[in-house]
Amino acid sequence: MSESDNILEMRGITKEFPGVKALDNVNFVVRRGSIHALVGENGAGKSTLMNVLSGLYPYGSYTGDIIYEGEVSKFYKIKDSEEKGIVIIHQELALVPYMTIGENMFLGNERGKKYAIDWDKTHAEATKYLKIVGLTDSSKTLIKDIGVGKQQMVEIAKALAKNARLLILDEPTSSLNEADSKALLDLLLEFKKQGLTSIIISHKINEVSYVADDITIIRDGKTIETLVKGVDDLSEERIIRGMVGREIEDRFPKRYGVSIGEPALEVEDWNVYHPIYAEKKVIDHVSFHVNKGEVVGFAGLMGAGRTELAMSIFGRSYGRDISGKIRIHGKEVTLHSPRQAIDAGLAYVTEDRKGSGLILTNPITINTTLANMKGVSNRGVIDRDKELSVAEKYRQKLNTKTPSVRQNVGKLSGGNQQKVLLSKWMYADPDILILDEPTRGIDVGAKYEIYCIINDLVAEGKSVIMISSEMPEVLGMCDRIYVLAEGRIVGEFGREEASQEKIMASILSVDLAEKEKEI
Amino acid sequence: MKKDITSGAPRIREPLNDTQLLMTITICIFVAMYAAAMIFMRGGFLKAQQFFDLLNDNAYLIIISCSLTIVMIGGGINISVGGVISLTVMACAMYLESSSSTSILTTLLLALGIGLAFGLLQGFLISYLEIQPFIVTLAGMFLARGLTTILSVNPVKVTHERFLNLVKTKVEIAWLGYTAKNGALIPAKLEIGAVVALMVVVLVYLMLRYTRLGRNIYAIGGNQQSALMLGINVKLTRFWSYVLSGSLSGLAGFVFLMHKPAGNASVALRSEMDAIASSIIGGTLLTGGVGNVIGSFFGTMILGTIQKIIALSPLNASWWQEMANGAMLGLFIMLQSVILMRRHNKKH
Amino acid sequence: MTSKTKVLNFVQKYTMIIALVLVTAFFAWRTNGKILMPQNITNIISQNAYVFVLATGMLMCILTGGNIDLSVGSVVCFVGTVGAVMMDRDLNMWLAVLLMLVVGLLIGAWQAFWIAYVKVPPFITTLAGMLIFRGLSNVVLQGKTMAVTNEKFVQIFGGGANCYVPDFFGGENINILCLVVGILACIIYLVITTRNQITRRKANLESGSLAATVIKAVIIVAVVIFFTLRLAQYKGLPMALIWVVAVIMIYSYVTSKTTVGRYLYAVGGNETATKLSGIDTRKIYFFAYTNMGLLAGLAGILTIARLTSAQPTYGQNYEMDAIGSCFIGGASAYGGVGTVPGVIIGALLMGVINIGMSIMGVDANYQKVVKGLVLLAAVIFDVVSKKKNS
């Protein structure tokens, strides 16, 4: 392979933060015109490597060389790398909600003279690039008014407008549904045909094997290996083995001796309307039930209404004009607030740990007891010692890795934060737990531990509702699976009969029906 | 709440976005209020001069409203503007009094210099040391007010001849004038300060809309994280927003002196609150990222009109003015939220 | 841990206490120790009573997410106005006091309603309140001063010449009651600390090092004894101190030991998480701002008692003193962080500077400048030291 075949070569990159070596002599080579995947567990150093490349960590703050287009490059700031055609699209989208698509696309890259922005040109060019990525929205639409999937496309259009020659996508599909993800990946393949090189960082191994020509695996800040399509085995097992450094024989722990009992939660004819767009029905005549000791999965695409269903049941935390019946242990209840829901034995463990689950600036103790202050207080007066011992008990029970329970939650890793969040709801002592994406963004080892906790919960006679976008997880963990699409239940499968194909089929049949209706 | 649900809703064509709508409402309210004053108060309001006086009296307030709007769009706040005005007015008055040969240009430079110094200092502390803008500018307010009284506790009246000539110089517009009882035509007069203020509004409007700096200010106020990832120099942008804000406060001080040529420790007391109120009434959001100086201009005009109405009524002006401002602010916020809420409900 | 980082950690944790000690030492040096004279120690408390009270209330608002209440100065003025008018019409003093507190509470509830239930930003609501209540005070007083002549009222709320708790023990040169109270306070503090330590150790919970606890206790006892000794040498316990201590104790307890206090911190830390944990966050906002109104009412009472009159200009910039004390005392402008003792340190620092400069004969105008600089210096120091650590 001659030198010019490689658009990028990073040699011996070492980057240290105070006390941590984030990257340790990393070598990374990207072939021109390829799609190169960068995989590894959380904290393995993928994003750090890309930040070094983009100049967010300026030249001099790391050691090693970046050879781009055959010459050693020194990037002091993001603008430097962008000028050379290296454009990075971050996981958290870099869009300003109150600006239009066009304004966003050329922010920092304005059209016209430096002190006189040419708005006509801006919008004309925006429209051109939007067309390339297959968006038909007007470039004058505000960003806040389009969905995440489209926002991701706008990001790509924005990158193209910067004359990207090397496109880096950091977890581009993490908040997209499967259809949007597929569209995005196909777009990348299309660009590849036109000669664009991309680097994709992803947790989703099936996507990686679908799209990538080469896969580089990073673990603990070191490059482990680079697998090449057509030469190496690119199966999911093979990649996971590289990532975790060990075989995971069984990704899902077995449940023994859990007997499934009477219905614990029954929901009947549940309807919810959108809180702002009052005429949009988000949940449409949904009925389901969960039995004692059962793990019930809710599968579906992003935006199918699973989180909305869960939150509307949990004390009407979402939506308006809610109607329907809820029975808990056979008794009908009306839940108007999260407090009533908790008192009735429900718990909702949010998908958004940082945004709506934990108080990051507070210690584990305070987070653990927040949903059940009555347990550690007497007439409004808190017993601090008791609180400390409660937090300590759950730390041991869930094996949360922390130097002390007085540690602020913000300093913990994703997996440990999830455990603190679970502690909070376990301490509220619910009968029915709704776990919304309980393993999102946490690494393989921690996932296994979360599964074990779920098994322990049902073994204690509790019921678990598990909302997850990872199909294998739903199939591996749940006794029964409901499939939600467009706010309706479109399928129900027992453990034995369920399969990825069947679930997808029931989702797609709704989509087809919708399409026909529109025509 | 998931974002994709909101977007899934089909959208009707929108002629105005929220910002523009709020601004339009502000303008309409101003026009309605002024028209009402014309009908019910009669007298002065029927003359064009009354409108010009509104501009003359509030010229400095218009300028600091622009100054506030810039930092508020960037997600910040600046409550030192009133203090900077008082310091500038005092310093310039004393400088002019120091000798009859002082040049007016250097006085203007002194005013701008004081504003700039505050802007640079505050901007540095807020952007590069990342200290809360509220605290920094609160301290700045103490500092400026204190320095004013250190310069002189007693009022300093300007007797500098050429400056007083400048104060008397007015733009006369004959066709908007009226004929006095003795038959002489009295033209409508606009002070230089008011002209400067109008120019500031236009320039800031153009700056915010047509320059990179302007775009970047909206971006850092709208979503700082995004702005950072876009390679926008967030710190520098914020720094500039405060430098601009500070310099405009200095300019406002000079304009104030041109309107009332005397330095006084209590000059422009609480004017920062009036400026914030003007910006908010004009549709600027405290959370940043949304706003427009044209709106702020009309916000100031609304407050000014109320003041005029109260002054012409038998009520005691100083007592009722604050109350009316407060009530107006409250009323407008309610109106804003009601309109936005209805609008969102209608969208489906 | 190396000794260097240990020192750094110590400095960081006690930044403001160290600053307070240094500033006091500075003034003690410049004033030849006059600032530590009994009368001046008394003045630090009585002249700044309103700051302590308002800062405590302001802390609750700041905790909920960096929200501030700009209206407190005007509310202090308005409540004072109402009280002066009522007492001028010979209303029973206690009834008047009660009504003043109720007025404060109602104003607080009115603003709290808009903030908590209608979601109008606090900055705007209270900015409007600031303008409205200042104007109302003007209207009620017709722009004039109204004297407060009820001597009992003035004395009980810390105004006039004889605003001290009478000494039942009849000490001659020294106020025995004052000493007794000081010693009692120390004993109670020691007993509680010891009990906590014992139960924690028994339960095998983390309890901090014994040496640190002992040193802390010794310092606190020394400071309390010094203070009461000084006060006893003058005229004894100022009435204002009683009110301030009551407020401090109640709110220290509320913020650190009760669920309501916990929820204040939680709302500031993460509002959505708090809501989903089954807590009605609107009630928490409502509590914070209603409470602020109540405390502004109390501050209004203290103000007209000390100044024995009501004037439409009273209470101007009080909100700035209160906000300044909170930030100097380590409250975070983002909410969720801050303690009542911290705020008290902040208020004390402000008070010491005020009195110190008055003794030194520094012009009142320079005082304003110095106050601004201290506020800034405190915050810069805080930010910079935190940055170095991370």
DSSP B230-246: TT--HHHHHHHHHHHHH
The complex's ipTM works out to: 0.75
C132-155 confidence digits (pLDDT tens): 898 899 889 888 899 988 888 888
Q: What average pLDDT score do residues B194-203 get?
A: 95
pLDDT at residue A81, as a whole number? 87
Q: Report which of residues A276 and A370 the model is more confident about.
A: A370
Which residues does chain B have within 8 Å of residue C368's beta carbon, measured at their own beta carbons?
Answer: 142-143, 145-146, 149
CB-based contact C278 A371, cutoff 8 Å: yes
C185-242 confidence digits (pLDDT tens): 899 989 988 888 887 777 666 656 777 788 888 888 888 888 888 888 888 888 888 8
The CA distance from C194 to C210, in Å, is 10
User: Please, is B107 exposed, middle or buried when counting C-beta atoms within 10 Å of its C-beta (0-12, 13-18, 19+)?
Assistant: buried
In this structure, are A415 and A295 located in the same domain? no
CB-based contact A359 C274, cutoff 8 Å: yes
> What is the band of C113 on the pLDDT scale with cuts at 50, 70, 90?
very high
The CA distance from A373 to B100, in Å, is 74
- For chain C, the C-alpha Rg in angstroms (whole number) is 21
| Extended beta strands in A292-385, E state | 295-300, 320-328, 331-333, 346-349, 377-378, 381-382
Lowest mean pLDDT among A396-400, B273-277, C14-18, C251-255: C14-18
Secondary element (H or E) of residue B218: helix B212-222
Cα angle vertex C348, ends C345, C351, to 5°?
Answer: 155
Unique residue bearing structure tokens 């405290």: B286
Which residues does chain B have within 8 Å of residue A305's beta carbon, measured at their own beta carbons?
Answer: 5
In this structure, are A389 and A455 located in the same domain? no
The CA distance from C156 to C178, in Å, is 17
CB-based contact B143 C139, cutoff 8 Å: no
Secondary element (H or E) of residue B23: helix B18-40
In this structure, are A192 and A46 located in the same domain? yes
> Does the structure show a pLDDT above 50 at B347?
no
> What is the band of B2 on the pLDDT scale with cuts at 50, 70, 90?
very low
CB-based contact B146 C366, cutoff 8 Å: yes
Packing angle of the helix pair C122-141, B271-281 (nearest 10 deg): 130
Domain boundary among A144, A163, A182: A163
Q: What average pLDDT score do residues C320-329 get?
A: 85
CB-based contact A115 B210, cutoff 8 Å: yes
Residue of B nearest to C325 (CA): B135
Q: Do C330 and C347 contact (CB within 8 A), yes or no?
A: no
CB-based contact A107 B289, cutoff 8 Å: no
Counted domains in chain A? 4
Secondary element (H or E) of residue B67: helix B48-73
Which residues does chain A have within 8 Å of residue C200's beta carbon, measured at their own beta carbons?
Answer: 385
Residue of B nearest to C123 (CA): B286
The CA distance from B56 to B48, in Å, is 12
User: Please, is A246 exposed, middle or buried when counting C-beta atoms within 10 Å of its C-beta (0-12, 13-18, 19+)?
Assistant: exposed
Residue of A nearest to B290 (CA): A98
What are A476's two structure tokens? 């591996």
The amino acid that residue B302 corresponds to is I
> Does the structure show a pLDDT above 70 at B8?
no
Query: Could you tell me if A183 lies within 8 Å of chain B, comparing CB atoms?
Result: no
Q: What average pLDDT score do residues A420-433 get?
A: 93
What number of C-beta contacts closer than 8 Å exist between A and C? 90
CA of B327 to nearest chain C CA: how many angstroms apart?
6
In chain B, which among 301-330 make CB contacts under 8 A with chain C?
Answer: 316, 318-327, 329-330
What number of C-beta contacts closer than 8 Å exist between A and B? 115
Residue A281 is classified by DSSP as E
Q: If you average pLDDT over every residue of chain C, what do you get?
A: 85
Query: Could you tell me if B217 lies within 8 Å of chain A, comparing CB atoms?
Result: no
A164-219 confidence digits (pLDDT tens): 899 999 888 877 777 788 888 999 999 999 889 999 988 777 888 889 999 998 88
| Extended beta strands in A114-241, E state | 116-117, 166-170, 197-201, 214-219, 222-228
| Phi and psi torsions of A269, nearest 5° | 50, 55
Q: Do C314 and C303 contact (CB within 8 A), yes or no?
A: yes
The CA distance from A147 to A184, in Å, is 14
Residue C238 is classified by DSSP as B
> What is the band of A298 on the pLDDT scale with cuts at 50, 70, 90?
very high
Query: Could you tell me if A275 lies within 8 Å of chain B, comparing CB atoms?
Result: yes
Q: Could you tell me which of C85, C1, C100 has the C-alpha nearest to residue C302?
A: C100
In this structure, are A339 and A376 located in the same domain? no
In this structure, are A57 and A192 located in the same domain? yes
In this structure, are A176 and A62 located in the same domain? yes
In this structure, are A309 and A195 located in the same domain? no
> Does the structure show a pLDDT above 50 at B14?
no
In this structure, are A419 and A445 located in the same domain? no
Which residues does chain A have within 8 Å of residue C275's beta carbon, measured at their own beta carbons?
Answer: 317, 338, 356
In this structure, are A387 and A444 located in the same domain? no
> What distances in angstroms separate CA B237 from CA B217, B296, C129, one per listed residue?
6, 21, 33
Pairing mode of beta strands A331-333, A320-328: antiparallel
pLDDT at residue B12, as a whole number? 37
What are C362's two structure tokens? 């520094």
Q: What average pLDDT score do residues B161-174 get?
A: 87
Q: Do A408 and A439 contact (CB within 8 A), yes or no?
A: no
Q: Do C83 and C324 contact (CB within 8 A), yes or no?
A: no
| Extended beta strands in A341-447, E state | 346-349, 377-378, 381-382, 432-436
Q: For residue C11, count other CB atoms closer than 10 A to its CB.
A: 12
A221 within some domain: yes
Which residues does chain B have within 8 Å of residue C376's beta carbon, measured at their own beta carbons?
Answer: 125, 131, 135-136, 139, 143
pLDDT at residue A261, as a whole number? 87
Query: Could you tell me if A20 lies within 8 Å of chain C, comparing CB atoms?
Result: no
> What distances in angstroms separate CA B180 from CA B172, B173, B177, B184, one per listed residue?
16, 15, 9, 5
A251 within some domain: no
Q: Could you tell me which of C42, C53, C157 has the C-alpha nearest to residue C97?
A: C157
Packing angle of the helix pair B48-73, B212-222 (nearest 10 deg): 60
What are A60's two structure tokens? 């001099």
Nearest to C270 among A337, A360, A371 (CB): A360
A153 within some domain: yes
CA A452, distance to chain mean position in Å, is: 21
pLDDT at residue B6, as a whole number? 37
Pick among 1.10.3470, 3.40.50, 2.60.120, 2.60.40: CATH of B17-34+45-340: 1.10.3470
The CA distance from A466 to A298, in Å, is 6
The residues pairing with A29 across neighbouring beta strands, listed in sequence order, are: A9
pLDDT at residue A2, as a whole number? 45
Q: Do A117 and A125 contact (CB within 8 A), yes or no?
A: no
B282-314 confidence digits (pLDDT tens): 888 877 888 889 999 999 999 999 888 888 877
Residue of A nearest to C390 (CA): A18
Packing angle of the helix pair C364-389, C340-360 (nearest 10 deg): 140
> What distances in angstroms separate CA C5 from CA A481, C2, C11, C19, one per listed residue?
54, 6, 10, 19
Q: Do A205 and A240 contact (CB within 8 A), yes or no?
A: yes
Residue of C nearest to B152 (CA): C365
Residues 6+ apart with CB under 8 A from C94: none
Query: Could you tell me if A259 lies within 8 Å of chain C, comparing CB atoms?
Result: no
In this structure, are A179 and A214 located in the same domain? yes
> What distances in angstroms separate CA C198 from CA A179, A260, A376, A404, C220, one per listed residue?
61, 47, 20, 20, 20
In this structure, are A78 and A169 located in the same domain? yes
CB-based contact C120 B143, cutoff 8 Å: no
The amino acid that residue B134 corresponds to is F
Query: Could you tell me if B211 lies within 8 Å of chain A, comparing CB atoms?
Result: yes
Q: HSE (CB half, 13 Å, CA atoms) of A434? A: 25
The CA distance from C117 to C129, in Å, is 17
Helix locations, chain C, DSSP H? 3-13, 15-30, 38-47, 49-63, 72-88, 93-117, 122-141, 151-156, 176-202, 210-233, 239-257, 259-269, 271-276, 281-307, 318-328, 340-360, 364-389
Q: Report which of residues C110 and A360 the model is more confident about.
A: C110
> What is the band of B269 on the pLDDT scale with cuts at 50, 70, 90?
confident
CB-based contact C132 B326, cutoff 8 Å: yes
In this structure, are A401 and A372 located in the same domain? yes
pLDDT at residue A362, as a whole number? 85
Residue of A nearest to C265 (CA): A362
Helix locations, C14-92, DSSP H? 15-30, 38-47, 49-63, 72-88
CB-based contact A107 B4, cutoff 8 Å: no
Lowest mean pLDDT among A129-133, A346-350, C35-39: C35-39
Which residues does chain C have within 8 Å of residue A384's beta carbon, measured at their own beta carbons?
Answer: 257
Edge-to-edge strands, sheet with A214-219: A86-89, A166-170, A197-201, A35-39, A214-219, A222-228
A325 within some domain: yes
> Does the structure show a pLDDT above 80 at C16?
no
Q: Do A461 and A256 contact (CB within 8 A), yes or no?
A: no
Which residues does chain B have within 8 Å of residue A77's beta carbon, measured at their own beta carbons?
Answer: 231
CATH number at residue A290: 3.40.50.300
Lowest mean pLDDT among A23-37, A122-136, A236-250, A290-304: A236-250
Which residues does chain A have within 8 Å of residue B344's beta carbon, measured at their own beta carbons?
Answer: 276-277
> Does the structure show a pLDDT above 80 at B46?
no
Domain that holds residue A419: 358-429
Q: Could you tell me which of A315, A300, A314, A305 has the C-alpha nearest to residue A285?
A: A305
CB-based contact C203 A385, cutoff 8 Å: yes
> What is the band of C4 on the pLDDT scale with cuts at 50, 70, 90?
low
pLDDT at residue C243, as a whole number? 92
Task: Return the partners of chain C (3 or more C-beta pairs < 8 Å).
Answer: A, B
CA of C259 to nearest chain A CA: how many angstroms apart?
5
In chain A, which among 292-321 make CB contacts under 8 A with chain B?
Answer: 302-303, 305, 307-308, 318
Query: Could you tell me if A62 lies within 8 Å of chain B, comparing CB atoms?
Result: no
> Does the structure show a pLDDT above 80 at A243?
no
pLDDT at residue C19, as a whole number? 81
Domain boundary among A137, A163, A189: A163
Unique residue bearing structure tokens 């004058």: A140
- For chain B, the C-alpha Rg in angstroms (whole number) is 21
A257 within some domain: no
Domain boundary among A414, A429, A444: A429
A350 within some domain: no
Which residues does chain A have within 8 Å of residue B8's beta carbon, measured at their own beta carbons?
Answer: 147, 280, 303
Which residues does chain B have within 8 Å of residue C365's beta carbon, measured at their own beta carbons?
Answer: 146, 149-150, 153
CB-based contact A424 C277, cutoff 8 Å: yes
Query: Could you tell me if B153 lies within 8 Å of chain C, comparing CB atoms?
Result: yes
